[in-house]
Amino acid sequence: MGNKAFFLGFLIGFALILSLEFASAQMVPAIFVFGDSLVDVGNNNKLPVSVAKANFPHNGIDFPTKKATGRFSNGKNAADFLAQKVGLPTSPAYLSVSRKSTSSFMTGASFASGGAGIFNGTDRTLGQSIPLTKQVGYYESVYDNLIQQQGLSGAQKSLSKSLFAIVIGSNDILDYSGSSDLQKESTPQQYVDSMRLHASGARKFVFAGIGPIGCIPAQRIKNQTDHGCNEGSNLMAVSYNKGLNSMLRELKSNLTAISYSYFDTYSLLLNIIQNPATYGFAEAEAACCGRGKLNAQIPCLPVAKYCPSRKDHVFWDLYHPTEATASILVDAIFDGPKQYAFPMNVRQLVTV
């Protein structure tokens, strides 16, 4: 009997130690994610008419469940890795939670949607997605529920310490570069204006700049001579990122209570593409999963072929990075130098 009591006490003590270790590892109360397919964790699975989905093989082949989850990746994406860094579970896809109760989103929520852009029509070639304005609207409903459960001061205190990650803009540029009919211009000012979050408790933001989208496999195959990067798309990304940085500095000067970390996705990802071996990659041009030239003429459908070692490839499919690439990018977001993350990295941001 004494041995049983000792063993039970040991288990309880061990469980307490584990819970304390988890609590100490949790750096922020919650993460709220806004964006496109780079951070979608399953919202598009719930959109009835959308064709921009990743709920089929070979997506998810390296995910812990070995099954497709709606992530446009062979495994985890940047949203997963960022949550791990701050000691939280991945923020659940907003549309996947059947009951929109506050308790469902106590550690955050993801509103990100594959094909989404800053404007409502940027996914016109892909089908239905959740544009940024609607994603913010979904967050506001979560905010109202948090107030009902925690009270205004309690909700705002928690949200002021939480992270708000925004990864969007690539689809706008890809749409513009591929269509002469689009008359609207995707400006950084409209990007910032659409993020009506400061009034709803948000104080700590993580903005990811647009990467060198002219170098993704889908853009490279348009260059029939050497499959080089589409410099026109890259120039648009550079221009957009400069404008966004300017707007963020202005926003900070006007709203001194907010803090942010801007990640220079363009510079780091371009460095990876140009020097793949330095980062452990063997292939930086072709997609791992697909068919045709550079595995980019046919998407990563069940009939596609995929590479045996996904860790060797920078790109998973014709648009998206592999899990290995996403991990490197988030490492830099979280602990990177000011060369890539400024005016501070995310580790510094959470302590502000």
Please tell me the predicted confidence (pLDDT) of residue 177.
63
**Residue 289 in 3-state DSSP?**
strand
Express each pLDDT in 300-315 by its tens digit. 999 999 999 999 999 9
- By mean pLDDT, which of 123-127, 219-223, 311-315 is the weakest? 123-127
Please tell me the predicted confidence (pLDDT) of residue 300.
97
Give the rounded distance of the alpha carbon of 120 from its chain centre.
19
Residue 16 clears pLDDT 90, i.e. is over it: no
Give the rounded distance of the alpha carbon of 210 from its chain centre.
11
d(CA 169, CA 297): 23
Average pLDDT (144-170) is 93
Q: What is the rounded end-to-end Cα distance, in angstroms, of the chain?
A: 51
Residue 197 clears pLDDT 70, i.e. is over it: yes
Residue 216 parent element (H or E):
none
List C-alpha distances in Å: 34 to 38, 116, 148, 321.
10, 10, 23, 18
Please tell me the predicted confidence (pLDDT) of residue 30.
97
**Residue 305 in 3-state DSSP?**
strand
To the nearest whole percent, how much of the chain has pLDDT over 90? 69
Question: Which tops the pLDDT comparison, 7 or 190?
Answer: 190
Q: Is 40 one of the catalytic residues?
A: no
Q: What would the two tokens of residue 196 be?
A: 């009506």
Residue 291 clears pLDDT 60, i.e. is over it: yes
Please tell me the predicted confidence (pLDDT) of residue 55.
96
Please tell me the predicted confidence (pLDDT) of residue 56.
96
Q: Is 1 exposed, middle or buried (0-12, 13-18, 19+ CB in 10 A)?
A: exposed
Q: Is 144 one of the catalytic residues?
A: no
pTM of the model: 0.89
Please tell me the predicted confidence (pLDDT) of residue 210.
96
Please tell me the predicted confidence (pLDDT) of residue 198.
79
Q: Catalytic: which of 36, 172, 264, 317? A: 317
What residues pair up with 283 in beta bridges, in sequence order? 313
Are the beta carbons of 319 and 38 closer than 8 angstroms?
A: no
d(CA 318, CA 167): 18
Q: Catalytic: which of 36, 175, 177, 320? A: 320
The C-alpha R_g of the chain, in whole angstroms, comes to 21
Q: pLDDT-derived band of residue 18, with 50, 70 and 90 as boundaries?
A: very low
Q: pLDDT-derived band of residue 100, with 50, 70 and 90 as boundaries?
A: low
Average pLDDT (284-288) is 98
Residue 192 clears pLDDT 70, i.e. is over it: no
295 Rama class: left (phi>0) / alpha (psi -120 to 50) / beta = left
Average pLDDT (76-96) is 97
Average pLDDT (86-93) is 97
Give the rounded distance of the alpha carbon of 56 from its chain centre.
20
Please tell me the predicted confidence (pLDDT) of residue 117.
87
Cα atoms in the Cβ-side hemisphere of radius 13 Å centred on 24: 6
Residue 8 clears pLDDT 80, i.e. is over it: no
- Residue 294: DSSP 8-state: G
- By mean pLDDT, which of 20-24, 133-137, 169-173 is the weakest? 20-24
Residue 179 clears pLDDT 60, i.e. is over it: no
Taken in order 145, 128, 60, 173, the sign of the CA dihedral is: negative
Residue 23 clears pLDDT 60, i.e. is over it: no
Average pLDDT (31-53) is 94
Single-letter residue type at 343: P
Please tell me the predicted confidence (pLDDT) of residue 193.
64
Residue 262 clears pLDDT 60, i.e. is over it: yes
d(CA 5, CA 9): 6
Are the beta carbons of 44 and 145 closer than 8 angstroms?
A: no
Q: What would the two tokens of residue 222 be?
A: 């348009």
Token pair 């719930």 in the structure block, residue: 46
Please tell me the predicted confidence (pLDDT) of residue 97.
86
Average pLDDT (57-77) is 98
Single-letter residue type at 153: S
Residue 286 clears pLDDT 50, i.e. is over it: yes
Please tell me the predicted confidence (pLDDT) of residue 24.
42
Average pLDDT (269-275) is 98
Taken in order 111, 137, 351, 259, the sign of the CA dihedral is: positive
Residue 196 clears pLDDT 80, i.e. is over it: no
d(CA 266, CA 341): 11
Q: Is 37 one of the catalytic residues?
A: yes
Q: Catalytic: which of 36, 37, 129, 175? A: 37
List C-alpha distances in Å: 283 to 11, 113, 213, 227, 296.
48, 28, 17, 13, 14
